[in-house]
């Protein structure tokens, strides 16, 4: 399946971004003991570009320079932390802190070049004024497959004796500030959609589906939360079944071991069994393995118990949120019905007033215009 173009932008963590992007020696030592899959022998294919107009290549120093620039341009300190204020309706509104440096992760193809990504960054700067500071093209990340890749998989390849699924991507670090005004650039949802399309056009990739097409945000908030809770419930239920299967297998092994220990055959071959226990060849025999199996069984039982508790909590939350949602729908319907009743009463009252007015004009005979109109009104009432 071909990789679709996509870019995800978030505030840049300047404390860790460069270590990851530059593959520093300390970073590589750290991930060597973790589960982040970076294949060092593929790192030679990585490329990087630092904006020559950047000044200092250190992001922390650039961040401090931006902070000073904002103070000079606006006369106020840069609002870095999230803050709260009271809105006109009395509700508390959270305002996000300024993110002057942001980082985008752009999915690319295996043959995407650094020049392609630079072209994308330059076009972003031309359209929206966001300046690319650093670009890193990573072709050494991905994950190991458990076995052979699927038939339609054209990207996975062998590294040694194992199959590796690459995750080709680029990191683009942007300066998100207007250095003329000292204010942050404002990009709306339409701008971000255009950026996704721009990436697919420049990188010659199929565009990923927009949120407007997938409809993932069309659900009401409560419905969305309920769906998320249901999905989590299903995931935990599957994990619970898996653990229960492991427990059943462990219990079967335990019964088998206990049964074999009691057999006459095992008693007659005690010497052979002892030798097997010592050498570790017979993994199912021996008190040491038996105790280890019992401890593993107890641990699995404990995990299942914890997951049962979590599932019950999630079920309770889903039921409660469903009740709240039903109550809200009922209240809205009731309000709508009351509004219709009020409008019907008002229309009835106005009809009575108009009817009295016509009768008065018809009886008084003071206005010929009204006299000529009364028959029409009478015919309409009939």
Q: Is residue 378 part of a domain?
A: no
Q: What's the pLDDT tens digit per position in 292-311?
A: 777 877 887 887 788 778 77
| Pair 126, 260 in one domain | no
Residues 178 and 228 in one domain: no
Q: How many domains are there within the chain?
A: 2
Out of 163, 179, 209, a domain closes at: 209
Secondary-structure breakdown of the chain: helix, strand, coil percentages, each rounded to the nearest 5: 60, 15, 25
For 177-195, the pLDDT digits (tens) are 999 999 999 999 999 999 9
Structure tokens that stand for 169 in this block: 């991507």
| Same-domain check for residues 106 and 168 | yes
* Within-domain flag for 283: no
Cα–Cα distance between 21 and 49 in angstroms, integer?
11
Residues 130 and 236 in one domain: no
Residue 125 belongs to domain with CATH number: 3.30.930
Residue 365 lies in a domain: no
Whether residues 68 and 99 fall in one domain: yes
Q: Pseudo-torsion of CA 250, 255, 256, 258, nearest 10°?
A: 120
Is residue 42 domain-shared with residue 172, that is, in the same domain? yes
- Domain containing 61: what range? 6-82+95-209
Whether residue 51 is found in the same domain as residue 189: yes
Evaluate if residue 284 carries a pLDDT over 60.
no
CA atoms within 13 A on the CB side of 308: 8
d(CA 142, CA 361): 88
Are 130 and 232 contained in the same domain? no
Given this model, what pLDDT does residue 332 score?
A: 73
In a domain, 117, yes or no: yes
In a domain, 345, yes or no: yes
Cut 0.85: pTM above it: no
Residue 214: inside a domain, yes or no?
no
Same domain, 254 and 325: yes
Q: Given this model, what pLDDT does residue 109 score? A: 93
Domain for residue 193, yes or no?
yes
141 and 226 together in one domain: no
**Beta-carbon count within 10 A of 247 CB:** 18
pLDDT of residue 36: 63
Q: Does 292 share its domain with 164?
A: no
243 confidence band (pLDDT: 50, 70, 90): low
**Nearest alpha-carbon partner for 317 in 227, 226, 238, 235:** 226
Write phi, then psi, for 194 (nearest 5 degrees): -65, -35
Has residue 382 been placed in a domain?
A: no
Least-confidence region, from 9-23, 24-38, 53-67, 247-261 = 247-261
- In this structure, the answer to whether residues 205 and 224 fall within a common structural domain is no
d(CA 187, CA 87): 23
**pLDDT band per the 50, 70, 90 thresholds, residue 132:** very high
């Amino acid at each position: 399946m071909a990789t679709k173009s996509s870019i995800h932008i978030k505030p840049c963590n300047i404390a860790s971004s460069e270590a990851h992007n530059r593959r520093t020696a300390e970073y590589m030592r750290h991930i060597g003991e973790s589960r982040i899959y970076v294949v060092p022998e593929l790192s030679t294919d990585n490329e990087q570009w630092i904006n020559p107009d950047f000044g200092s290549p250190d992001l922390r120093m650039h961040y401090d320079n931006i902070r000073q620039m904002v103070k000079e341009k606006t006369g106020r300190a840069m609002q870095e932390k999230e803050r709260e204020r009271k809105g006109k309706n009395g509700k508390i509104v959270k305002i996000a802190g300024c993110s002057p440096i942001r980082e985008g992760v752009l999915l690319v193809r295996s043959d995407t070049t650094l020049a392609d990504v630079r072209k994308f960054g330059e076009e972003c700067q031309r359209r929206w004024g966001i300046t690319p500071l650093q670009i890193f093209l990573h072709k050494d990340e991905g994950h190991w497959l458990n076995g052979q890749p699927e038939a339609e998989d054209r990207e996975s390849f062998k590294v040694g004796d194992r199959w590796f699924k690459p995750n080709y991507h680029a990191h683009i670090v942007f300066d998100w500030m207007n250095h003329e005004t000292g204010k942050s650039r404002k990009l709306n949802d339409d701008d971000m959609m255009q950026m996704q399309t721009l990436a697919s056009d420049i990188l010659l990739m199929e565009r990923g589906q927009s949120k407007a097409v997938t409809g993932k945000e069309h659900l009401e908030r409560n419905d969305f939360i309920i769906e998320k809770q249901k999905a989590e419930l299903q995931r935990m239920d599957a994990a619970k079944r898996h653990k229960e299967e492991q427990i059943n297998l462990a219990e079967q092994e335990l019964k088998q071991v206990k049964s074999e220990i009691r057999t006459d055959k095992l008693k007659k071959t005690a010497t052979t069994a002892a030798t097997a226990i010592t050498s570790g060849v017979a993994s199912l025999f021996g008190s040491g393995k038996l105790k280890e199996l019992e401890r593993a069984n107890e641990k699995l039982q404990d995990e299942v118990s914890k997951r049962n508790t979590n599932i019950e909590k999630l079920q309770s939350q889903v039921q409660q949120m469903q009740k709240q949602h039903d109550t809200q729908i009922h209240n809205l319907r009731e309000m709508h019905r009351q509004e219709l009743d009020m409008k019907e009463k008002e229309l009835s009252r106005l009809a009575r007033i108009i009817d009295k007015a016509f009768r008065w004009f018809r009886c008084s005979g003071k206005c010929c215009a009204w006299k000529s109109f009364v028959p029409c009104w009478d015919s309409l009432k009939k």
